[in-house]
Amino acid sequence: MPVITYRDALRSAMAEEMERDERVVLLGEDIGVYGGTHLVTNGLIDQFGPRRVIDTPIAENGFTGAAIGMAMAGMRPIVEMMTWNFSFQAADQIIQNAAKLRYFSGGQVSVPLVIRGPNGGGVQLSAQHTHSLEGFYGHFPGLKVVSPSTPEDVKGMMLAAIRDPDPVIFLEAGALYGTKGEVPEGEYTVDFGKARVAREGNDVTLVGYGRQVPVLLRIAEKLANDKIDAEVIDLRSIRPFDSDTIVESVKKTHRAVVVQEQWRWFSVASEVAAIIQEQAFDELDAPVERVSGAEVPAPYARNLEVAAFPSEQQVIDATRRVLYLGS
Amino acid sequence: MGTVIMPKMGDAMEEGTLLKWLKAAGDEIAEGDPIAEIETDKVTLEIEAQEDGFLTNVLIEEGTTAAIGTVIATIGTQDEVGQAPAKAAPAEPEVAEEPEQELAAAAPVAEEPEAASAPAEPAAATSTQVVERAPGERLRASPLVKRLAEEHNIDLTQVAGSGPGGRIIKIDIADFVSGAKSAPKAEVSAPVQAPSANGQVAPSSAPASSPVSDKGTKVDLSRMRRTTGKRMTESKLGIPHYYVTTKVDMTEALDFRKTINGALSESGGKVSVNDLIVKAAALALRDHPEVNTSWEDGELYQHEAIDINIAIAIDGGLIAPFIPAADGKSLGAISTLSRDLGRRAREGGLTPEEYQGGTFTISNLGMFDVDEFIAVINPPQAAILAIGSVAETPVVRNGRVTVGQVMKITLSADHRALDGAQVATFLQSVKKYLEQPMLLAIS
C-alpha cells in the first residue's frame, strides 16, 4: 500500500470524488489561489477551476449558509473552516439550519454538506484559536461528527462524509497533517459509527480519538515495558458513536482510561465513561478515569500550553490507578 | 406508624437473621410483647415491642438476614394494618443513631465509636491484609467483584479488599480463590495474569486449590460459623503468631483437685482441671501484666482487669464467654461461673456482655486426648493458651525415672505485642502455679 501523509490522504479523497462526482464543490477562505492555509487543497483550483474550488470572503456564517443552500439544491459542498475556531461565526447556520432542515421538512430536504478543518490545539495559537469542538458539535442531533487519526481513516471517512446525505462535522487532527501512513489503493470508504481497535491488549482500555491516538499508542508501548498490556481504541466517529467496541473491550480489561484534549466537563470522555457504566457496570473493577485538558482557556506560552494538555505521564498515572498499582 | 428495626446487639454485629415472627401482621400487641425471634452471630434473642398498638406490617420474611438498623416491621393503629409504611426500609444501618426510640431490643445498645472511625489508610492495605470493617460499615467491592462473587458463590465478607477504602478488587478475589498469598503489589504482572482470560475466576482451575473431582454439597453456614471463620482468618492472616510450648507436671494439681472435690462432695460442688488452669493463668497474668494486652489499630493496650475467656464448642461453632476478674475469684467461684457459662453457651442463652470482651483466652482440648495443639489468637487479644491432655509420662525426678502426670500447654502470642522471652517467663509462672497448686488457694 502506498504511504502518504494525512494531508495528502485528505486531498486525494476530495480530488478523487470531485473527479467522480461533479456536484462536489469546495468553499473556504484562501483554499484556491493560495492553496489553503494548511495546504490541504493545494493545487485543486488548477485541477478543477475556480467554479468548483471557491475562494470566499472572510465571512463564515455567509459561506456556510451558501453551502447549506447548495446542498439543499442537490450539490455536495465541502466547506473548509480555516480552523474550527472560526465555526463559531457559522454556528447559527450549522446548528439552526444544517442540523435541522431534514427534521423541519419531514425528510423532504436533506443537507449533504461536509464542513472540515483542523480541530484542537498544540501549536501555540492561544486561547481564541485553540478549541476541540467534538463535544460541542456532538451535542446536536442532526449532525454527524467524526475525528479520524490516520491517513487511511481520514481518506475513507472523507469519502463517506461526502456521500452522506446529512451534514458532517469533519474534525481533522491538525497536528497530524504531516504524519504518514499506509492508505489502500483505489476507492474505499470507512463507515461512521465504528471505532477502531488500534492496539489489542488485555489489561486496560485506553480510549481516544484524533491527535490523542498516536500518543496513546506510544504510551501503550511504554506500559508494555511495565508488563501492562493496554488496548487502544480510536473512536474515529463521535456521532454516531460505537458503544459496542468499547463495551467489548471493557468486558475484557475491566478498566478504562479515556483521554481527550478538550475540557472534561460535558465532554466526549464524560459520555464514554457514562456509557461504560451503563453498559458494562458489572465488568468494572475500577472507576473509569478521564484525562482531559486543563480547565482554562488555552495558554499561549509553550510551557503552559504543554501543561494544559493531557500528558503521557497523566495517562500513565491514570492507567496505574485503574490497575491499583502505585505510581 | 412506629417502626421495629433489626437491633444492634453488640459491637461485632452487622446483621441479624429473622428466625421467626412471634406476631403476625394485624395482631394487637402491647409494649414488651415479644414480636420476633432473631439470631445474631452469637445468640438467639427475642425482639420486644416498644409501644402498644397493632403490628401493621411485617417487612422481612422468616429466614431473611437484614443489616442492623433495617426496618423489619411497623407498629400502628388497627386502621393502618397492611398499609404500606411511609418510608422504605433504609438500606444502610445509619438509622441506629436513634436507638432509644427505634430499638425494640431486649438489651441496651453499646456505643459504637469504631463505626465512625475512618477506614484503614487505603495505601497501606495489602491484598493479604484483612481489613477490619467497623460494624455497619458498608462493604466496598468493585462491580466486577460483586458479579464474580455471586457467580462463584464467594462470601465477600471473608475477602480482604486492597483497593482504596478497602474496596475489594479483582485481584483480591483471585488471591482469595487461589488461597495463595498474593504476589507483591510491586509486581506489575500480578493483576494482569492472576485471573484467567475474560476475567473469570474459576475456583476449580486455580492452581493452589486442591484438585477435587466433586465440588461437594454446600453446607448452610450458621451465622456463628461465618463469624468464626471470618475472625479466625483475620487473626491468622493479620497477626504474626508464634508459639511457645512447655510441659507442666500436673501430679500435684490432680491431687489438690481430688482433695478439694472430696471436701466439696457434700455440697455438690466440683472443681475441674480447667478451673485450676483458669486460676493459674489469671495469677500468672497478674504477675506478668505485659501478657494481659491487646493489639488494636496499631496500638498496644494493657488491661487492668484480668478477664479470662474460655473457648467452648457448641452446636454451630465456637463461643468464648469470659470469667471477669478471674485472678481475684476463688476456685469455687470460678468453677460455678464456668459451669454456668458453659451450660448457657450450649443452650444459646448467653448475653452479649458475657462473650464480648475478655483479655486472655484459654482453649482446652484436654478432654479429647490430644497431646498438644496450637490455637489461633482471639483478636485483639495478644495471646491464647492451648491446653493438651494430662498424660501419664515417664519423668525424671531427683535422678530417678518415675511416672508423672504431664500436660503440654502452648501459648500462641502476637509478636507485635509480645516477645519470646516474655512469653517464656509467663509460661514459667503458669507452670509454677499448677505445680504448686496450694498457691492457687491462697492467692
Residues B256 and B387 in one domain: yes
Residue B63: pLDDT band with limits 50, 70, 90:
confident
Taking an 8 Å cut-off on Cβ atoms, the answer to whether A254 and B144 are in contact is yes
pLDDT at A220 over 60: yes
Which residue among B172, B194, B221 closes a domain? Answer: B221
Q: Does domain A3-182 have CATH number 3.30.420.40?
A: no
ipTM given for this complex: 0.72
Q: Is B157 within a domain?
A: yes
**β-bridge partners, B381:** B294
Higher pLDDT residue, B385 or B165?
A: B385
Q: What integer best gives the mean pLDDT of chain A?
A: 96
Residue B99: pLDDT band with limits 50, 70, 90:
very low
Residues B92 and B175 in one domain: no
Range of the domain at B153: 117-221
Residues B98 and B129 in one domain: no
Residues B281 and B155 in one domain: no
Q: Is B172 within a domain?
A: yes
pLDDT at B120 over 70: no
Distance from CA of A257 to the nearest CA of B (A): 16
Give the rounded distance of the alpha carbon of A230 from its chain centre.
22
Residues B94 and B126 in one domain: no
Q: What is the greatest pairwise CA distance in chain B?
A: 89
Question: Which of B126, B144, B152, B198 is the best residue to mutate to test the A interface, defined by the most A CB atoms within 10 Å of its own CB?
Answer: B144
Distance from CA of B143 to the nearest CA of A (A): 5
The percentage of residues in chain A with a pLDDT greater than 90, rounded to a whole number, is 96
Question: Which of B126, B150, B168, B188 is the best residue to mutate to test the A interface, defined by the most A CB atoms within 10 Å of its own CB?
Answer: B188
Taking an 8 Å cut-off on Cβ atoms, the answer to whether B191 and A251 are in contact is no
Chain A residues whose C-beta is within 8 A of a chain B C-beta are 202-203, 226-229, 251-252, 254, 281-286, 323-326
Q: Does domain A196-322 have CATH number 3.40.50.10540?
A: no
pLDDT for B30 equals: 85
Question: Which of A229, A285, A325 is the best residue to mutate to test the B interface, defined by the most B CB atoms within 10 Å of its own CB?
Answer: A285
Asked about A129 being catalytic, the answer comes back as yes
Residues B431 and B393 in one domain: yes
Return d(Cα B227, Cα B155) in angstroms, integer.
11
Residue B97: pLDDT band with limits 50, 70, 90:
very low
For residue A203, which residues of chain B lie inside 8 Å, CB to CB? Answer: 191-192
Residue B84: pLDDT band with limits 50, 70, 90:
low
Return d(Cα B122, Cα B131) in angstroms, integer.
10
In this predicted model, what pLDDT tens digit does every residue of A268-291 receive, in sequence order?
A: 999 999 999 999 998 999 999 999
pLDDT at B194 over 50: no
Q: For chain B, how many structural domains are there in total?
A: 3
Q: Nearest residue of B to residue A249 by CA position?
A: B198
Give the residue from B102, B109, B105 showing the smallest Cα distance to B34: B105
In this predicted model, what pLDDT tens digit does every residue of A69-86 receive, in sequence order?
A: 999 999 999 999 999 999
Residues B262 and B217 in one domain: no
Which residue among B191, B221, B251 closes a domain? Answer: B221
- Region A252-277: mean pLDDT is 96
Taking an 8 Å cut-off on Cβ atoms, the answer to whether A203 and B191 are in contact is yes
User: Is B398 exposed, middle or buried, given 0-12, 13-18 or 19+ CB atoms closer than 10 A?
Assistant: exposed
Return d(Cα B388, Cα B362) in angstroms, integer.
11
Q: Which amino acid is at A126?
A: S
The percentage of residues in chain A with a pLDDT greater than 70, rounded to a whole number, is 100
Domain with CATH 3.40.50.920 in chain A: 196-322
Q: Is B232 within a domain?
A: no
Q: Is B396 within a domain?
A: yes
For residue A227, which residues of chain B lie inside 8 Å, CB to CB? Answer: 188-189, 192
Residue B72 belongs to a domain with what CATH number? 2.40.50.100
Distance from CA of B148 to the nearest CA of A (A): 9
Asked about A271 being catalytic, the answer comes back as no
For residue A251, which residues of chain B lie inside 8 Å, CB to CB? Answer: 198-199
Chain B residues whose C-beta is within 8 A of a chain A C-beta are 123, 142-147, 162-163, 169-171, 185-186, 188-189, 191-192, 197-199
pLDDT for B136 equals: 62
Q: Is B234 within a domain?
A: no
Residues B248 and B350 in one domain: yes
3-class DSSP string for chain B: CEEEECCCCCCCCCEEEEEEECCCCCCEECCCCEEEEEECCCCEEEEECCCCEEEEEECCCCCCEEECCCEEEEEECHHHCCCCCCCCCCCCHHHHHCHHHHCCCCCCCCCCHHHHCCCCCHHHCCCCCCCCCCCCCCCCECHHHHHHHHHHCCCHHHCCCCCHHHCECHHHHHHHHHCCCCCCCCCCHHHHHCCCHHHCCCHHHCCCCCCCCCCCCCCCCCHHHHHHHHHHHHHHHHCCEEEEEEEEECHHHHHHHHHHHHHHCCCCCCCCHHHHHHHHHHHHHHHCHHHCEEEECCEEEECCCCCEEECEEECCEEECCEECCHHHCCHHHHHHHHHHHHHHHHHCCCCHHHHCCCCEEEEECHHHCCCCCCCCCCCCECEEEEEEEEEEEEEEECCEEEEEEEEEEEEEEECCCCCHHHHHHHHHHHHHHHHCCHHHHHC
Residue B98: pLDDT band with limits 50, 70, 90:
very low
Residues B276 and B411 in one domain: yes
Return d(Cα B17, Cα B39) in angstroms, integer.
5
Residue B85: pLDDT band with limits 50, 70, 90:
low
Q: What angle do CA B74, B78, B81 make, to 5 degrees?
A: 50
Residue B109: pLDDT band with limits 50, 70, 90:
very low
**β-bridge partners, B306:** none
pLDDT at A250 over 60: yes
Q: Is B197 within a domain?
A: yes
Q: What count of other Cβ atoms lies within 10 Å of the Cβ of residue A167?
A: 32
In this predicted model, what pLDDT tens digit does every residue of B7-23 receive, in sequence order?
A: 877 666 778 888 888 88
pLDDT for A327 equals: 62
- How far is CA B95 from each of CA B70, B100, B102, B111, rounded to the nearest angstrom? 8, 11, 8, 14
- Region A150-174: mean pLDDT is 97
Residues B306 and B358 in one domain: yes
In this predicted model, what pLDDT tens digit does every residue of B241-285 receive, in sequence order?
A: 999 999 999 999 999 999 999 888 888 778 999 999 999 999 999
For residue A326, which residues of chain B lie inside 8 Å, CB to CB? Answer: 123, 185-186
Taking an 8 Å cut-off on Cβ atoms, the answer to whether B191 and A324 are in contact is yes
Residue B198: pLDDT band with limits 50, 70, 90:
very low
Residues B72 and B148 in one domain: no
Q: Is B227 within a domain?
A: no
Taking an 8 Å cut-off on Cβ atoms, the answer to whether B163 and A286 are in contact is yes
| 3-class DSSP state of A25 | strand
Q: Is B230 within a domain?
A: no
